[in-house]
Chains A and B, each alone.
Chain A
Amino acid sequence: MSSWYFSHLTLIQGMLISIPLALSVQIALRSGVFSFASIGFYGIGAYGTGILTMRGWPVLPAMLLMIVASGVVAYLMSAPLIRLRGLYLGMVTFAFDLILTVVATNGGELTGGALGLLGVPLGMTTAGLVAAAVVAVLLVSQLERRAVGRALVGIKASEELVMSVGVDLRSRKRTVFAISAALGALSGSLYVSTFSTVSPTSAGFTLIITTLTMAVIGGTSSWIGAVIGTVIITWLPSLAATIGEYQHLVYGVVLVLVVMYAPEGVLGALRWLWHKVGPKKPAISTTGPPGRESVVAERVEEGLSR
């Protein structure tokens, strides 16, 4: 057991670090906010924490500062952004991530240029990573419950609906944007203080695709989906070593297949299975789907009552 643990330690750490990041994309998508900005804040968290700890800051204060600062910056930034709808927001936040990559590459000594930061002090234990992942899951799972959960899912169903029931739509979307950014910064800070390095490419295009794949494959309807997706995407390449260099091609194909055939992800498929084989509730005869028969029956009934 322990030899397995040590030989797979990097994967285990990577998985734990990815959980907050996958959650950051999941909560955005779940609330109908199609944003990749959290990947950019992952980079900001990684570089920020790296730069601060290399200048002698202890890890925890550096992390906290980057997380809070990212949340605040994201909240301010979101004012114009959340006016954008659907794909447009996706494109702008995508560009935001790529611009940050360029900034990191050209940041001179501060960011270490194309090589990035090397020799960042190690300050994170695996237990610390577990704790961070658990806290992230707890916070996100509370966003799915009670009035908060209904309002956020409502945004995705219909923005006009949630406004008409008294939800301050703009403020909700901005808050989701800020929480998503803070989770991204958390993940980046964990990464840099675990692996001691970060380069411009670590928060670029590849990470966007990988994280999106995690969230979508798992299913965006709940935090459970994001965790399932993270586990799958972390272990899939090591299980099928042959796909190594075609990894991103495989991700792409899997992503397309999932979106086409299982839009609710693995979680949705599991729920469907549970519905099929799980305990049966007594069927209610009066409420079949509005098929042909029920329409006919309705018309007959209407005719009779005239």
Chain B
Amino acid sequence: MTVPSLEVRDAAVNLGGVKALDGVSMTVESGRLYGLAGPNGSGKSTLLAAISRLLDLTSGSILVGGEDVMRRTPFQVARMGLARTFQTVRLMPQFSVLENAMLGADQSVYGGSFVRQWLMPWWTRSREAQVRARAEAALERLHLMDLRDEPPLSLSYGVQRKVEIARALTAEPRLLLLDEPTAGMNRTERDEIGELLLRLRNEGVTQVLVEHDLKMMVDICDHLYVLDSGHLIASGRPADCIREPKVVEAYLGRGRRAAA
């Protein structure tokens, strides 16, 4: 039996008296694409923040590759092979698209102490080239090579989101968390991203995808988890999941369900 890539056990998060997550458990097996759905404010982003250790759980635990990470810092979890994108785009305006993507792999490729990174250009040269090659490969996959030297803020929102994904891919993660990667994209771009995620899945990258586009989730995910008000209300095959009365109710409200 293989160790699951990610396990969340009875996770709870209290944010100033509000239960953002309440007793959520989920298992994510290696090499599969999981969807995390739910209406606004249901706790999806909170769960991703907890998994990447940017937010502490009030109770419960999280295991990455079978290892309890509750005592790990975010950067340590990142070095275990976890990469993520953010719901709000986080790019460095001073740097080009390429350099923004390079940030994703810097630490894993460079390694070494701060002083080495700082004062030994001869030591960093080959590493810099390696990071650049990785970043270019990631930009290639997202068809961003033409824009590699542009400052990111001059680009449309959808393209900025792609740079965000490229940065995560540059890290060559084993576990990838995507927080609404296609927000602000048109249908063609969304389909492109959907295909990319499927290809990554076939390459063995485990993924957890948060999306509002349920159609996309049903099309590409192996398994769907649905949250509502911090509770896990459904789990299973995506097509079945979205038909469950609880899920329909969470998305459309009680009245609509009666009407349907």
Contact = CB atoms under 8 A, between A and B. Distances in A.
Given A147-B106, A157-B91, A284 B156 contact: no
Contact of B107 (A165, A221, A287): A165
B14 interface: no
A50 B146 CA distance: 57
Contact of B156 (A150, A294, A301): A294
Contacts of A288: 156
A287 B119 contact: no
A55 interface: no
Interface in A133-162: 139, 142-143, 145-148, 150-151, 153-154, 157-158, 160-162
Contacts of A148: 114, 117-118
Main secondary structure of the interface of A (DSSP, over half): helix
Given A287-B150, A306-B187, A146 B114 contact: no
Given A154-B92, A287-B147, A166 B128 contact: no
A163 B54 contact: yes
A3 interface: no
Interface in B87-138: 90-95, 99, 102-104, 106-108, 110, 114, 117-119, 121, 124, 127-128, 131
Contacts of A157: 90-93
Contacts of B54: 160, 163-164
B107 A147 contact: yes
A166 B52 CA distance: 11
A167 B131 CA distance: 15
B190 to A, nearest CB: 9
- Interface on chain B toward A: helix, strand, loop, or mixed SS? helix
Contacts of A139: 119
A150 B147 contact: no
Given A163-B78, A164-B52, A302 B103 contact: no
Given A148-B118, A160-B54, A165 B86 contact: no
A171 B114 contact: yes
A147 B110 contact: yes
A221 B94 contact: yes
Contact of B106 (A165, A287, A290): A165
B187 A301 contact: yes
Nearest to B116: A148
B2 interface: no
Contacts of A306: 187
Nearest to B55: A160
A143 B117 CA distance: 9
A169 B127 contact: no
Interface in B222-238: none
Nearest to B109: A147
Contacts of B107: 147, 151, 165-167
Interface in B62-97: 73-75, 78-79, 83-84, 86, 90-95
A146 B124 contact: yes
A171 B74 CA distance: 13
Contact of A150 (B79, B103, B157, B186): B103
A261 to B, nearest CB: 18
Given A151-B103, A153-B95, A298-B186, A164 B83 contact: yes
A63 B118 CA distance: 23
A10 to B, nearest CB: 33
Given A157-B93, A161-B86, A294-B156, A166 B78 contact: yes
B83 A143 contact: no
Nearest to A176: B114
B114 A172 contact: yes
A263 B92 CA distance: 16
B155 interface: yes
Interface in A248-306: 284, 287-290, 294, 298, 301-302, 305-306
A287 B154 contact: yes
B104 A165 contact: yes
A175 interface: yes
B192 to A, nearest CB: 12
B149 to A, nearest CB: 8
A218 B219 CA distance: 53
B146 A284 contact: yes
B104 A147 contact: no
Contacts of B52: 164
B128 A154 contact: no
B90 A158 contact: yes
Contact of B186 (A151, A163, A289, A302): A302
Given A142-B119, A151-B103, A167 B75 contact: yes
11 contacts: A142-B121, A146-B128, A147-B107, A147-B124, A148-B118, A163-B54, A163-B78, A165-B171, A166-B171, A287-B150, A302-B186
Given A167-B107, A305-B187, 10 more contacts: A142-B118, A147-B110, A147-B128, A150-B103, A153-B92, A154-B92, A157-B90, A157-B93, A163-B78, A298-B158
Interface of B: 52, 54, 73-75, 78-79, 83-84, 86, 90-95, 99, 102-104, 106-108, 110, 114, 117-119, 121, 124, 127-128, 131, 146-147, 150, 154-159, 167, 171, 186-188
